[in-house]
Structure 1
Amino acid sequence: MRRHVSQAPRFLRVLRALPVLAAVTALTVSGCSSGGSKPAASGSTAPATPSASPSVEAICLLDTPGEKQVTHFEGGNDHLVEAYTTGDGPVGVVLAHQVGADLCQWSGIWTDFPAKDYTVMAITMGGGIDTDVSKAVEQLRARGLKKIVLIGASMGGSAVLAAAGEVTPPVQAVVSLSGPAAYGVADAFSAVKKFQVPVAYFAGEQDTQFATDAQKMYDATAETDKTIDILKDDGDHGVALWPQVKDQVFAFITKHAQ
């Protein structure tokens, strides 16, 4: 009997404590799910709308004059594309980066495009890379540009090739620097088999996998206005090829878009 009496108060104390424990648990779960201590990765949440004025993420743009040229728009897989646009020329150029990089990868290259001749948009891509490129084309066309050229390096090469197979009306030209035949959702090889867009492929001979893919895609490309340059004894990849191929790229663009 004494044992039964001694247990009753403990039981009552547990009952009284339950609401407090529930409240503490709710606060703890809320704090963990808010992500307050660690920002969510890009694309892991629903994208902000352009009116939300997202902060600039590309480090190379933080001190760049003319922040009005930094824009954000919805791309593929709920990814919010960050874009930097420079120049006000009549030919639009989309620059698509390599894996593990962002639009800053092109910061030493977009200055090669004369502002009076080109409007260049470098983008930071997410999961739906071909869609990101297609949406960038829409952005340039919304600015009134009628002629568009796509240039992509490595992963970006796959993105621009796949996007060029989807964009309507077609863009004027596409350039792939070491683009693989496929990357993620971007199936470049399937796209080029139906191509009706002038295309130029570049790769280093010693960058063997990508040189092989460039030749494979060139051979499969339906468009007759196509060119390929496998740079002999060259192991450079993607944007690293730019100094060697820049003149050819500009000649190709001039032929088809100016």
Structure 2
Amino acid sequence: MGRHALGLGALALLLAACGGTAGSQAGGPTTPSPVPAGTSGTAPTPVATPTPTPTGANIDGCVTEKTGKIFDYKRGGTTTKGVIMGKGPVGVVVSYEHQGSVCGWLPLADRLVAAGHRVLLFDRNNTAAPEEDTVAMAQRLRKAGATKVVLVGGSMGGRLSLLAAGKLDFPVAALISVSGTIQPGEVDDLRAPFLQVTGDADPDAPVDMLQIVYNEAVKSADRQMLVLPGQAHASELFTGDQGEKALRAVTSFVEKHTG
């Protein structure tokens, strides 16, 4: 025996502890079932499938030819795109906020289209006098068959809508400013029905300033102001906690003055 016998004895004990026998591994070696990396033996975590990027004509990836009729718009050497959604005699032009996009206004556009109205969303042309874009869009809706046109704008888009209303050669059916940055003294001659919607804690559209503007719009055929709780600004008002109230207020005002 000696050292050799002791070595075999130690090997037998080691194999026994591992479930085998000395000199034999019945059934062959046991191979553990493979476990996907990073799962620690648990079920694999589902991976979200990314939304495919539109390959055809689109605006900011959220508006495609399924959304409506996409068109090119050129001014000052720059070409942007717009879309007309829905049908009907009433047309609504939407001008988005600073650093906004048409995507944020789709909830309102969808609601207005469902109500039987035509809606035009467009990528603003970043040239001088941006209100000229809103003027051109309102004229485009008229040529497309809209007999009444409403201007809706968020934040700076609200002010651009007001300026555009003063440059059109036909009266707008209504002007709706959502968290608009219209300044005191700019609504003295406004005669169109005028709705302001804002949040009571919106730092970019202080309620006090909107109240002054409201008080000055004495020539408006119908002035209204809706103050909702929260800090949501412009298009954010349509998707936040007060979204349904904001959507209903705008849609009701459009229908009231175009019916």
After superposition, where does 1:1-258 map in structure 2 within 5 Å?
A: 56-62=58-64, 64-65=65-66, 69-75=69-75, 77-115=76-114, 117-127=116-126, 128-181=129-182, 189-210=184-205, 211-221=207-217, 222-231=219-228, 233-242=229-238, 243=243, 244-258=245-259
Q: 1:249 to 1:57 in 2, by over 3 A?
A: closer
Amino acid at match of 2:136: K
* 2:187 alignment partner AA: V
Residues 57 and 255 of structure 1, relative CA distance in 2, 3 Å threshold: closer
For 1:19-54, what per-residue CA distance to the aligned partner results, in whole angstroms no more than 9, with x for missing partners? xxxxxxxxxxxxxxxxxxxxxxxxxxxxxxxxxxx9
The root-mean-square deviation of aligned C-alpha atoms, in Å, is 2.3
TM-score normalised by structure 2 residue count: 0.68
How far did 1:123 drift? 1.1
Higher helix share: 1
TM-score in terms of structure 1 length: 0.68
Identity across matched positions, percent? 25
Greater radius of gyration (CA): 2
Contact 2:91–2:120 (Cα < 8 Å) also in 1: yes
Q: Number of matched residues?
A: 195
Contact 1:95–1:122 (8 Å) recurs in 2: yes
Q: Which runs of no fewer than 5 residues in structure 1 stay unpaired?
A: 1-53, 183-188
Unaligned runs of 5+ in 2: 1-55
SS at the partner of 2:257? Answer: helix
Deviates further, 97-106 or 86-95: 97-106
Offset of residue 230 of structure 1: 2.1
Closer, same or farther: CA 111–224 of 1 in aligned 2, 3 Å: closer
* Contact 1:165-1:192 at 8 Å conserved across structures: no
Asked if structure 2 preserves the Cα contact closer than 8 Å seen for 1:91 and 1:147, the reply is yes
8 Å Cα contact 2:108/2:247 also seen in 1: no
- The runs of 4+ residues in structure 1 deviating greater than 6 Å are none
Q: Work out whether residues 87 and 113 of structure 2, in 8 Å CA contact, stay in contact via their aligned partners in 1.
A: no
Q: CA deviation at 1:108?
A: 3.0
CA contact (8 A) 2:85 2:113 kept: no
